[in-house]
Structure 1
Amino acid sequence: MSENDLNNTSRTNWEALESMSDEDIDYSEIPPLTDEFFEGATLRIPADKARHLIQIDPDVIAWFKAQETEYKTLINTVLRRYIESNGDKNLA
């Protein structure tokens, strides 16, 4: 996202949009998404937005959740400090 994206003001009438029911929305200009469309589509997730699933023991998660902070951020911080303390200077 560029600086210009953050400075643009939306011209959408959000109050009018939020007051509409699904039946009031005009979809006539939107082409249908067919099976053929999805067969040719490619899902691209930027590396900095990718999520990684790992298995952590329930008691470990419970301990992190009991801390007075965002537990996922805390887990990331602990792992980062572990890597840094073991001499890996290649972290981004």
Structure 2
Amino acid sequence: MTTQLTSKDGEVRELNDDDVKDMRRMAEVLPTSLQRSIGQRGKQQAPTKVKTSIRLSPDVIDHFKQQGDGWQRRIDQALKQYIREHG
């Protein structure tokens, strides 16, 4: 018997060992058109950004990471605002 993964309210329950054993590979359940490699990005929706490496102070990184996901985007926005104000 399969136990529902979600409640009537749509809340997802914690997966257990049996759930993991019942999982199937992506290739078995998705059509080829929807499959992609793990870590492979989909088509860019916005203009492509430039990948770079930059050294920032730990307190700067901590500040943005404490606000949750999207911390790199927020750093980008903060730098754009600086350019607008000081450009």
Structure 2 length-normalised TM:
0.42
Instruction: Find the structure with the greater CA-based Rg.
Output: 1
Structure 1 length-normalised TM:
0.40
Which structure has greater helix proportion? 1
